Every structure is written in structure tokens, then in C-alpha cells.
């Protein structure tokens, strides 16, 4: 009986691993430093659904900041400006074809842009003032959100579409607001707005419900929302606690959850997976050093430098995770590349390792054995 069970378990495990190999899941995790545009530094702020396109900013040979679009085959592409010297790419559509951000024009004002391969960089205008910035784009590239001046020294969160132009989303009773992220379908917008008491509060906006104050952590005074799940039901960002320390949060209709830290006293959430289950950002460790983190309900907050230590050369550090692909596989951000001695953009592929998949196969085999024994 024992030999029979062993042979059966081995057969099931072999079948499982065969399927894993066929599906291409047996790849190893990998880390790529994306370099710059002739200068020294860069940061990655957005990634496409398949991890094939990364966007952010990088220094050129003149040490000017330029929006970039990176692909594995083409490397880092300078997206240009709107007549000025600098530009920044904040996010990219799911298929990698549409990039949004802001660029300076010839008059020296920053303007929100939407870039495509065929059309180049399009100025999205303002709300009556001089400047604007685009912070996020819907999955299909059709809806852009950000902030724009509506009067001198006043900025408002906006939602832009080709047919409707730039829509002012209002505030929570104060003067200013900023939209930082939008749901996959473009229907839910999150960000930060001043309330009547002039405190900054995270908001969630919908067409039917308008702008909702998401509150803050117990005893805190302020909050900012930076990311939202595909369906708009999970929001992540930063909120102050009773000690007025910045803390990464994850919000649902049940309220705002403090995601903890890495041994220090501060943390900040930037991005979230499509299903709202995986959150990324940065947190201080016990030595008050900023470290990129990944959070899940099951595992809590983990230091990516610990989890993927074998991918890092001596002295290299992942400082900040800025965005995550919808499926939670790809993470991009900024780190210290010891090989170049510069802070540079990184792309981390967290594909499951073969060892964990073998455990999955063994677990499945054991389950099948137990079920077989009951028959």
C-alpha cells in the first residue's frame, strides 16, 4: 500500500509540474535595472499589464528629467516635452500603448499630457489656470486623471476624456484637490482634497456619488489616496495615526486599515493589484532606512530586499515600490544600483519560484490521495 501511494503521489506531482512547465510558470524571479537616458538617475512609476512596458522619468545627458517608455526590445525611449526642458511619465495603459504624465511647455508651465505611438504627446490643457499634471490612466487609455489649476494658486482634481474634456471634480469643502488614480474602467477616481478645516483627506469619487471623504486612521488628521483596485472598491495610500506618523493604509467599505511597517515608524502605499489583494510601497526599517515592501493579508508587510535578496548585487537596495501590474506579478520603482552608483528604475518579476510550485504539486497529490482513500 505504501509503495502504491508513493508511486501515485509521484505520478500526480509529475503531472502537475508538467502542466506548470507547459504554462511557462517555471521561470525564475528576475530583477532588471532600467538605466537612464544618458544621465545618471531614473524612477519607474508605471507598468503595463504584462510587464513589457515600464514608464517613469530618467535623466538625459544634459541631466534634464525626461519622461520615458521602456521595453525589453527597444530599451528606454525619451518621450520628449511640450516645448520645455523636462517631462515625467506617471502611468501607462494596460496594453502599454498610452502614456500619461506632465511636461513643461515653452512658457515654463507644466501641462498634463497623453502620449501615443502614432500621435505623440498631446497637451490636455487646464481648468482655466496655467498648469496641470496627469497622474493616472484607465486600463484602455481613454480616461485620464490628475490635477489642474482653475485659478492662481488653486488646483483641482480632474477627470479627462476625449469627448468631455477636463472635468473639475471639486473638493471636500476646501480650495484644492488632486486625483492620483482611477479604476480600470475609469468610473472611480481617488486622490486627496482639502476639507473645510483645511486638512488633506483621501477621497473616492464616482459619477453618481461625487467625492467621498475616506477619513484617516484613529487619532490622525490627514490622508492621501494613491492607488485603487480595478473595480474601485479597494483604495490604498498614506494616512497619519495618533502620533502623526505616516502609515500605509488599505481602505474598503469596512474602513481604513493600517498596514504596519518594517520595524520603523513610517510607511507609504503607492499601488495595488487589480483584485486589491496585493499592496506595494515603501516603509522604514528599524534603522530608519526606506525599503520597498509588498503587503498581503496572509503574509503582512514584507521587505522585498529580503524576499528577493539573491537577485541583488552587494550594496544594491530596492528603496521604493511605486506600481504593480494588475495580476500582482510585476513591481516597478526606484532603488540604489550599486553597479552604477545611482538611484535608478527597476523592474521586478516576482513569478513564483519552482520550489513553491513543487510544494503546490505535492499538496495537490496529498489531497488526491486522501480523497482516493475515502472512496
| 43-59 exposure pattern, b = at least 16 Cβ within 10 A, e = fewer | bbbbbbbebbbbbbbbb
Give me the pLDDT at residue 27, please: 81
Tell me, yes or no, whether 72 lies in a domain.
Answer: no
Tell me, yes or no, whether 12 lies in a domain.
Answer: yes
Average pLDDT over residues 38-62: 97
Residue with cell 516603509: 283
Average pLDDT over residues 341-346: 98
Helix/strand/coil percent split, the chain, to 5: 15, 50, 35
pLDDT tens digits, 201-228: 999 999 999 999 999 999 999 999 999 9
Give me the pLDDT at residue 288, please: 96
Q: Judge whether residue 284 has pLDDT over 70.
A: yes
DSSP code of residue 354: H
Q: Judge whether residue 36 has pLDDT over 90.
A: yes
Give me the pLDDT at residue 82, please: 98
| Among candidate residues 281, 196, 205, the one with its CA nearest the CA of residue 238 | 281
Q: Judge whether residue 254 has pLDDT over 60.
A: yes
What is the separation, in whole angstroms, between the first and last Cα of the chain? 15
pLDDT tens digits, 61-110: 999 999 999 999 999 999 999 999 999 999 999 999 999 999 999 999 99
| CA pair distance 223, 248, nearest whole angstrom | 10
Average pLDDT over residues 296-323: 98
Task: Say whether 255 sits in a helix, a strand or coil.
Answer: strand
Q: Judge whether residue 160 has pLDDT over 60.
A: yes
Tell me, yes or no, whether 42 lies in a domain.
Answer: no
Average pLDDT over residues 330-358: 86
Give me the pLDDT at residue 230, please: 98
Give me the pLDDT at residue 152, please: 84
Residue 280 · residue 271 · CB < 8 Å = yes
> Do you know the residue count of the chain?
375
Q: Judge whether residue 253 has pLDDT over 80.
A: yes
Give the pTM.
Answer: 0.88
Tell me, yes or no, whether 6 lies in a domain.
Answer: yes
Tell me, yes or no, whether 11 lies in a domain.
Answer: yes
Tell me, yes or no, whether 334 lies in a domain.
Answer: no
Lowest mean pLDDT among 102-116, 130-144, 354-368: 354-368
Tell me, yes or no, whether 242 lies in a domain.
Answer: no
Q: Report which secondary-structure segment, H or E, holds 355.
A: helix 354-374
Average pLDDT over residues 224-253: 98
Q: Rounded to whole angstroms, what are the CA distances from 222 to 131, 243, 292?
A: 25, 12, 23
Q: Judge whether residue 374 has pLDDT over 80.
A: no
Lowest mean pLDDT among 1-15, 177-191, 234-248: 1-15
The tally of domains found in the chain comes to 1
Beta partners for residue 145, in sequence order: 136, 159
> What's the pLDDT band for 14 if we cut at 50, 70, 90?
very low
Total Cβ atoms within 10 A of residue 355: 8
DSSP code of residue 157: E
Give me the pLDDT at residue 366, please: 47
Tell me, yes or no, whether 294 lies in a domain.
Answer: no
Bridge-based pairing of strands 342-349 and 30-33 is antiparallel
**Structural domain that includes position 19:** 1-28+356-375
Amino acid at each position: 500500500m505504501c509503495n502504491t501511494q508513493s508511486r501515485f503521489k509521484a505520478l500526480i506531482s509529475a503531472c502537475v509540474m508538467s502542466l506548470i512547465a507547459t504554462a511557462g510558470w517555471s521561470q525564475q524571479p528576475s530583477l532588471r535595472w532600467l538605466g537612464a537616458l544618458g544621465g545618471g538617475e531614473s524612477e519607474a512609476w508605471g507598468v503595463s499589464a504584462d510587464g513589457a512596458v515600464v514608464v517613469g522619468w530618467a535623466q538625459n545627458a544634459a541631466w534634464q528629467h525626461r519622461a520615458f517608455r521602456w521595453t525589453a526590445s527597444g530599451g528606454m525611449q525619451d518621450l520628449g516635452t511640450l516645448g520645455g526642458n523636462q517631462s515625467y511619465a506617471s502611468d501607462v495603459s494596460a496594453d502599454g500603448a498610452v502614456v500619461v504624465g506632465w511636461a513643461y511647455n515653452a512658457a515654463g508651465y507644466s501641462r498634463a499630457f497623453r502620449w501615443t505611438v502614432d500621435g505623440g504627446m498631446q497637451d490636455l490643457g487646464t481648468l482655466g489656470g496655467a498648469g496641470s499634471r496627469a497622474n493616472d490612466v484607465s486600463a484602455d487609455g481613454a480616461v485620464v486623471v490628475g490635477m489642474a489649476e482653475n485659478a492662481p494658486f488653486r488646483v483641482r482634481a480632474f477627470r479627462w476624456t476625449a469627448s468631455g474634456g477636463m472635468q473639475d471634480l471639486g473638493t471636500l469643502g476646501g480650495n484644492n484637490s488632486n486625483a492620483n488614480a482611477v479604476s480600470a474602467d475609469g468610473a472611480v477616481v481617488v486622490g486627496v482634497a482639502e476639507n473645510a478645516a483645511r486638512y488633506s483627506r483621501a477621497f473616492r469619487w464616482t459619477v453618481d456619488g461625487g467625492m467621498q471623504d475616506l477619513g484617516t486612521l484613529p487619532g490622525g488628521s490627514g490622508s492621501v489616496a494613491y492607488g485603487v483596485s480595478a473595480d474601485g472598491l479597494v483604495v490604498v495610500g498614506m494616512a497619519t495615526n495618533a502620533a502623526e506618523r505616516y502609515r500605509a493604509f488599505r481602505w474598503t467599505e469596512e474602513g481604513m486599515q493600517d498596514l504596519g511597517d518594517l520595524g520603523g515608524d513610517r510607511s507609504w502605499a503607492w499601488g495595488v493589484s487589480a483584485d486589491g489583494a496585493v499592496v506595494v510601497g515603501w516603509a522604514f526599517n528599524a534603522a530608519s532606512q526606506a525599503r520597498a515592501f509588498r503587503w498581503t493579508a496572509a503574509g503582512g508587510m514584507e521587505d522585498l530586499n529580503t524576499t528577493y535578496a539573491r537577485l541583488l548585487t552587494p550594496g544594491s537596495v530596492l528603496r521604493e515600490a511605486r506600481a504593480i501590474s494588475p495580476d500582482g506579478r510585476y513591481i516597478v520603482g526606484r532603488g540604489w544600483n550599486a553597479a552604477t552608483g545611482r538611484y535608478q528604475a527597476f523592474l521586478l518579476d516576482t513569478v513564483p519560484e519552482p520550489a513553491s510550485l513543487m510544494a503546490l504539486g505535492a499538496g495537490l497529490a496529498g489531497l488526491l490521495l486522501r480523497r482516493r482513500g475515502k472512496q
